[in-house]
Amino acid sequence: MFNYFIKDIGIDLGTANSLVYLKGEGIILKEPSIAAINNKTGQVLAIGEEAKKMVGRTPAHILVIKPLVNAVISDFEITQEILRHFIKKVKNNNVFNYCRAIISIPTNLTEVERKSVEDAAFSAGAAKAYLIEEPIAAVLGAGLPIDEPTASMIIDIGGGTTEIAVISMGGIVISKSLKIAGDKFNEDIIRFIREEFKLIIGEPTAEELKIIIGSAVPLDEKLELAIQGRDMSTGLPREVVVKSNQIRLALTRSLRLITDSVKETIEITPPELVGDILKTGIHLCGGGSLLRGVDQLIEREISVKATVIDDALTCVSRGTGVAIEDIKKHSRFFANVLKPIEINI
């Protein structure tokens, strides 16, 4: 009877998409981290999928906002509204429900930024909020060994950040967080189309190009896609056909920065763990890992087998779910558990 009033949820609060895991049920929500606001009244018009449909299609007084930039809260009130939207759906409008939330965060957040995530969860209606770093959640979600004295290397290519981490004995040994991920890929494509075709396109079109014909390595089949935009010289609508090799060229620099960061991470990893990585390989997750051939690119550059985890998009969310199913057992992985104070004498 008491359990009926307790709602434990895991939230993968991403720059592009947010996923919600409900204890005992699994992933129940997957929506874009976007909100549409009426600038005149301050009213929230839409959140998630409905708001995404409005991107690039609204009048001046309606703003479509992504409140998380590089997985950091840039607009506290809108983030609070998005979290309240999720928690309200979980509670089924029952005000007596007691809600505990585990929220995934990047590894490089400052104490102030971590506190802002907690405060947003409390303001949205959570009674308790725990934070878990994304690489830890990804390893839990992928079912990789986390407590054993062996290395698990994970690369989480999300919307705003790419998290690279080596995990052993229940903790992060080495980690690196890059502000290069899915959103940066879209920016690269927009810039390339503007310079190459003198055509201005929006983010939804860039996302479509990335998903349908984008790749990190040359493909056996040649893909192409017709897109529409505004001609830079005439200001009139124009259609062009974009090929897959052009999108690959647009993404080259960002992908190179990611592979270079993977190399740098391995270079400062203890040698025994590097030997483990050679045996167990590198594991990729996140929406960005679904780009065709990104695992092949990393494998070629690092000379270590790279594998995209099954259902890579929900890996971190499933990891928060593993933690939420047994909070007491996994509490040692939480990033906001108080640590002993170090005193220098």
Indicate the DSSP class of residue 100. E
Residue 175: name the closest of 165, 167, 160, 186 by CA.
165
Residue 248: name the closest of 185, 187, 194, 336 by CA.
185
Residue 89: name the closest of 13, 20, 18, 37 by CA.
20
Indicate the DSSP class of residue 23. T
Residue 81: name the closest of 128, 127, 121, 27 by CA.
121
Q: What tokens does 141 get?
A: 């979600």
Let me know: does 109 contact 134? Beta carbons within 8 Å.
Answer: no
Rounded to two decimals, what is the model's pTM?
Answer: 0.88
Indicate the DSSP class of residue 28. E
Let me know: does 280 contact 231? Beta carbons within 8 Å.
Answer: no
Q: Which run of H or of E encompasses 131? A: strand 128-133
Domains of the chain (ranges; CATH) run 2-136+316-333 (3.30.420.40)
CA 86 from chain centre, in angstroms, equals 17
Query: What pLDDT is recorded for position 337?
Result: 47
Query: What pLDDT is recorded for position 227?
Result: 96
Query: What pLDDT is recorded for position 83?
Result: 87
CA distance 172 to 227: 43
The per-type count for the chain, helices as H runs and strands as E runs, is 11, 18
CA distance 79 to 107: 19
Residue 172: name the closest of 196, 208, 136 by CA.
136
CA distance 10 to 33: 15
6-13/17-22 β-pairing: antiparallel
Query: What pLDDT is recorded for position 259?
Result: 96
Reading the chain (345 residues) residue by residue, the pLDDT tens digits are: 445 567 889 999 888 888 999 998 999 989 888 999 998 888 889 998 899 889 888 898 999 988 888 767 888 888 888 888 888 877 665 554 678 899 998 888 888 888 888 888 888 888 889 999 999 999 999 999 898 899 999 999 998 899 999 999 989 999 999 999 999 999 999 999 999 999 999 999 999 999 999 999 998 888 999 999 999 999 999 999 999 999 999 999 999 999 999 999 999 999 999 999 999 999 999 999 999 999 999 999 999 999 999 999 999 999 999 999 999 888 888 976 444 333 333
44-47/35-38 β-pairing: antiparallel
Identify the three-state secondary structure at position 164: strand
